Structure 1
């Protein structure tokens, strides 16, 4: 269980280090490719890997943060609303398994008696990138742990048009050609995007944004 900010930062760093190594090696392969055909093939593989590590990092880092918040067991009343929402969402799934009208008592009981109880924030299998981390999916993921989406607003079009769309073309076996300079720029932009997501999660933990603001 991730219980401290230092542990969270270490888990994120450990997850990122191997991703960066792979991407750095792939970047070097692109630059070293001699023939035009080999360069084209390597770039296609590199774009797919870039997307894979972006999606994988968002999913793993979000899950680490949810686990960190869950470990605090803060009473629901003192927890930021988005985390209460995650808990309610899991209860809705429980209700979905039953057609009995009385099953609604689960939610009623929560509102009436559980606000002062220690929270049980779900963190396993909560983050769903839908295997297609578009800007729309990203905004939904950011909302779950209450991360600041304003930091990503200027990058939403880039995510869809320059990263997700090319990756989908490649994944579906369609033609896509990028020049070396275009790939290198894409690589640097995705690394910057990953770092932005990392900073947002780490800042949220340090500033304890998972707690409800005092009224």
Structure 2
């Protein structure tokens, strides 16, 4: 089970890195200005898609591993409990706020720590289509992992990887020189390596 999860994380990164390399090579090889503009936008959109997509895949791999292994919240970092209480809090929004309903919620919360991981609400960890540094830091606090390796990339993560994706989505037209494309794609590749290391280490830690 552990090796399957580790292999899933590795294979997922490899094909994504290969696709980033392919779009980078396409940009290098084309000489037409029209194609350069198109490939610049393709690089930006694809890099963000793989950054967020790889992160989401790693989250799902980890949660699948915990569920298949039969972990309870008691076995994990205490902040994982958010994934158990979120559905309870969400259901309370639709109820009348009175003592009887508060008691019901209290009773539901009381035994959560010893429950298994089957009903974990993944949305507390998934990227939500905007995987900036703040969101990454929040998720790492749930995982109980150190955000420090990402600190040096914080400005570029928010101001380049995320912001440029938004700019392209809103119709901004610009052409990147080869050096910028190289730098941008390498940023994405390095971030994916850091993400992969985090989740591989988590699986080893809990195996």
Q: TM-score, normalised by structure 2?
A: 0.87
Q: How does 1:83-122 map to 2 (within 5 A)?
A: 83-101=80-98, 102-110=100-108, 112-120=110-118, 122=120
Shift in Å at residue 125 of structure 1? 4.4
Q: Deviations over 1:43-80 (max 9, x none)?
A: 12111111111111111111211222233333433432
Structure 1 residues 29 and 119 mapped into 2: Cα distance closer, same or farther (>3 Å)?
Answer: closer
Does structure 2 retain, via aligned residues, the 8 Å contact 1:135–1:159?
yes
Counterpart check, 1:77 vs 2:74 = yes
Greater helix fraction, Structure 1 or Structure 2: 2
In the aligned structure 1, how far is the partner of 2:121 from the partner of 2:5?
14
Q: How does 1:1-215 map to 2 (within 5 A)?
A: 4-101=1-98, 102-110=100-108, 112-120=110-118, 122=120, 124-208=122-206
1:83–1:121 contact (8 Å) kept in structure 2:
no
Asked which structure has the greater RCO (Cα within 8 Å, sep 6+), the reply is 2
The TM-score, its normalising length taken from structure 1, stands at 0.84
- Aligned length, in residue pairs: 206
Distance 1:35 1:76, change over 3 A: closer
Provide structure 1 residue ranges, at least 5 long, that are not aligned to the other structure: 210-215
Q: 1: distance between equivalents of 2:118 and 2:144?
A: 16
Structure 2, unaligned runs of 5 or more: none
